[in-house]
Amino acid sequence: MARKPIIAGNWKMNNTASEGAELVKALKPLVKDAKCEVVVCVPAIDIPAVKKAIHGSKIRLGAQNVHFAEKGAYTGEISAKMLKEYGVQYVIIGHSERRAYFGETDETVNKRTLAALNAGLTPIVCIGESLEEREGGLTEKVLDRQISIDFQGIEDFSKIVIAYEPIWAIGTGRTATDEQANETIGYIRKRMKKVYAHKNVGRLRIQYGGSMNAKNAKGLMAQPEIDGGLIGGASLKAEDFAKVVNFDK
Ligand code: PGA
């Protein structure tokens, strides 16, 4: 079965609830004929307003993080069940900003991923190397570590999405070349098949993320290993994001 492309916007800490609702209202008609899955991952407090605004469209709702416990004394955190009740279907986990600024580790990424799956959410798990690691020839080693820890205990990889995001390409305007992204994602797929054999890795979707935009989306999406994109900056304007979503038009 072919892997269905998935384009997800990561708004990060942008857009109030009313701004977010306006954005998706503008986006709706522009993506109505999209063949790929279209997701917006919004700040948690925007979820109710965006859910209302996307009603009747193809756009699906995603969050940007989830806690691993079902409930309890975790001030400031949000559980998978809370997201689920609001119709959230996807959740970004282990974004490099969370790893760099909020102490997220491979172990917590793994726990959050399992909690999301348990609640019936689709995790979009971010992995990728820093510039220093790439230049030091450590890309595969870093990916191997993330792969071996972040995905432990997962039984069916058709239920998750991986976003390969080289940290040096995020928000820098420095995209990986089509070939670089394809090659590294090909490596991730090969490694996943080896480490998680017989767990439906054939249906695992792997996105590219890092300065993907209206201009470079077509080239990246034409690569055989790349199943979609996780879009930061270019998801903040309806027209720009729609161009990425409509990469095949
Ligand atoms: P960017 O962000 O598209 O702004 O580089 C991507 C991401 O961090 O998910």
Q: What residues does 92 pair with on adjacent strands?
A: 124
Q: Find out whether the beta carbon of 210 lies less than 6 Å from any atom of ligand 1.
A: yes
What does the pLDDT read at residue 23? 98
Between CA 21 and CA 11 the distance in angstroms is 12
Q: What is the pLDDT of residue 238?
A: 98
User: Does the CB atom of residue 108 touch ligand 1 within 6 A?
Assistant: no
Ligand 1 contact via 211 beta carbon (within 6 Å):
yes
| pLDDT score of 34 | 97
Q: Quick one: pLDDT at residue 44?
A: 98
Q: Is the CB of 94 under 6 A from ligand 1?
A: no
Any ligand 1 atom below 6 A from CB of 228: no
Please give the single-letter amino acid code of residue 220: L
Q: What is the pLDDT of residue 175?
A: 85
CA–CA gap between residue 144 and residue 208 (Å, rounded) = 17
Domains of the chain: 6-245 (3.20.20.70)
Answer yes or no: are the C-beta atoms of 75 and 111 closer than 8 Å: no
**Active-site residue numbers?**
95, 165
The token pair at 240 is 């720009």
Bridge pairing between strands 228-231 and 161-164: unpaired
For residue 96, give the ligand 1 atom closest to its CA: 8
- Rounded alpha-carbon distances, angstroms, from residue 181 to 53, 103, 137, 159, 195: 34, 26, 16, 22, 21
Beta bridge partners of 164: 127, 208
The whole-number pLDDT of residue 215 equals: 96
Which residue in this structure is represented by tokens 């890092």? Answer: 210
Q: Which residues pair with 205 in a beta bridge?
A: 161
9, 240 Cβ separation under 8 angstroms: no
CA count, 13 A, side-chain hemisphere, 15: 28
Compute, in angstroms, the gap from residue 203 CA to the centroid of ligand 1.
24
- 91: CA distance to ligand 1 center in Å? 15
Ligand 1 centroid to Cα of residue 166, in Å, is 10
pLDDT computed for residue 136 by the predictor: 95
Question: How far, in Å, is the centroid of ligand 1 from the Cα of 7?
Answer: 12
| Nearest-atom index, ligand 1, CA of 126 | 9
pLDDT by 10s per residue, the chain, length 249: 689 999 999 999 999 999 999 999 999 999 999 999 999 999 999 999 999 999 999 999 999 999 999 999 999 999 999 999 999 999 999 999 999 999 999 999 999 999 999 999 999 999 999 999 999 999 999 999 999 999 999 999 999 999 999 999 998 888 889 999 999 999 999 999 999 999 999 999 999 999 999 999 999 999 999 999 999 999 999 999 999 999 999
